[in-house]
A and B are shown apart, each in its own frame.
Chain A
Amino acid sequence: MTIPLSGKDVASKIEEKFPGSVVESSQDNLVVKGNFLLDAARFLRDTEGLDLDFLNFVTAVDYYDHFEVVYWLSSLEHNHSLTIKARCYDRENPVLPSVVGLWQGADLQEREIFDLFGIKFEDHPNMKRIFLWEGFAGHPLRKDFI
């Protein structure tokens, strides 16, 4: 059985290393600030005992006043998992750092989020639309699209 790691425990470890980076945390929830996302992600991947080396999926959810980007990570070695989230409050020009440098598996999925939600991932090697064509007006999975 894959054991979900406690968001609270991991949050205290991240907070210790990068003070002021955690927005909120509970047993099954962990939200970090966007500007600390890359540091926190690298910490989760490289810290012994966590070794979250497998990025199962990345996706986004539109909550009207903010976007939440969800990263579902797991470790094949220890067979545990963790969900980490980051929020964007800017609807006009939402930006987050790209994690492609850490997990290449995020490549196509971050392009998908850009296409369907309009969230830009900085330092992504090929940040362009993936399903819809260049010049398509709007981002369909946003709640205000229709």
Chain B
Amino acid sequence: MAVRTEPFVLNMGPVHPSTHGVFRMRATLDGEVVIDIEPVFGYLHRGIEKLAEQRTYTGITPLTDRLDYISSMSNNLAYCLAVEKLAGIKVPERAEYIRVIMAELQRIAALLIAVGAFLNDCGAYFTPFLYMFRERERIVDLFEMVSGQRLTYNYMRAGGVSQDLPEEFMPALRKFMDMMPRFMDEYDRLLMQNEILIARAKGVGILTGEQAINCSVSGPVLRASGVNWDIRKADPYSIYDQFDFDIPTQATGDCYDRYRQRVEEMRQSLRIIRQAMEQLPSGPVRAELPQLIRPPTGEAYARIEAPKGELGFYLVSDNSIAPYRCHIRPPSLINLTALRDMVRGWKVADLIIIFGSIDITVGEIDR
């Protein structure tokens, strides 16, 4: 007699260590195989876009810290670029260099967490994660020197940065730059050829380049699928066109490739920081601006290559001191569009690592 079977729904989250925040997945399973998935979110929705409509242009910067809270510097930068584009503000050269140094340090810090959390999901519970945190800690120390904060930095302003680098910053940064490549080699020795990691991640959750483009996926996930697209090169903002760096890409677009992609991107970030340190000019770090910025009527969209992908701000101005509309293009939310295609047909254990390999922050999804 044949056993009668039927698909069942498994609810994962919202509070679950592998969901990286308050995020829920409703997975429909056939035995252990995932046949459908629906991401459910909104548990962290604070209405940042609505709040922004009642604040001055300067007052919105601290709100952006709270989007993707593990890469606040990048969020600050994207927002400030949008305001500068809208109001036609010119940024002093030294501030541009400081911004690039901060954005790239932030990229390394965020990618360290991404890689560490991914290895966590693979089952290497917390050992690699703590190694990654050890290095991230040094970057956070650097950020604390310049901004006084360790998570929500609120360091950049429209027209520059809030204050110049303190005296002790450059020596500390130099020390970090000497150390970091050694640590990266150490990770590679430990992990790149690790048999368990390869068995768990290679060939799992493949996302093709066409699918990725159709789903508007951006950032390391897109490049791991073989698409050579990085906004720092394709649509250079700030002073990225003055630096010499490569855009690594991978071939297959599986979980292992996404892991590898992130590791290689960290090395490129180090290259950029090194060049920016050498060329750092002296001068003012903030443009002379009125207390309240009042951009002309119009709209502007500015985007950056954030650690997770294309982060953009679409601002509409009605010539008042607050934006008429402030839309945030969140890479975490849009990259999730591809999740369904990636997990179908894989087992529950694979679902966890495929989801981990996308690298999301719920603060940015829910806003």
Contact = CB atoms under 8 A, between A and B. Distances in A.
B267 interface: no
Contact of A54 (B213, B312, B333, B337): B213
Contact of A57 (B214, B229, B314): B314
A57 B327 contact: yes
Nearest to A53: B213
Contacts of B47: 140
Contact of A131 (B45, B215, B235, B329): B45
Contacts of A83: 301
Contacts of A36: none
Contacts of B236: 1
A136 B337 CA distance: 24
Contacts of B316: 61
A141 interface: yes
Interface residues on B, range: 20 to 34
Contacts of B229: 76
A130 B216 contact: no
Interface in B311-367: 312, 314, 316, 324-325, 327, 329, 333-334, 336-338, 366
B215 A104 contact: yes
B314 A108 contact: no
Interface residues of A, number: 33
A57 B334 contact: yes
Q: Is the interface of B mostly helix, strand, loop or mixed?
A: mixed
A55 interface: yes
Contacts of A141: 49-50
Interface in B181-231: 213-217, 227, 229
B69 interface: no
A56 B310 contact: yes
Interface in A15-57: 53-57
Contacts of B45: 131-132
Interface string A107-125: 1110010001000000000
B51 to A, nearest CB: 10
B334 A108 contact: yes
Given A56-B329, A131-B41, A72 B215 contact: no
Contacts of A1: 235-236
B217 A108 contact: no
Nearest to B39: A108
25 contacts: A2-B235, A53-B213, A56-B216, A56-B329, A57-B327, A57-B334, A59-B314, A76-B213, A76-B234, A79-B235, A83-B301, A104-B214, A104-B215, A104-B216, A105-B214, A105-B215, A105-B217, A106-B216, A107-B215, A108-B337, A109-B334, A116-B49, A131-B42, A131-B45, A131-B366
Given A105-B217, A129-B42, 8 more contacts: A1-B236, A57-B312, A61-B316, A104-B337, A108-B336, A130-B42, A140-B47, A140-B50
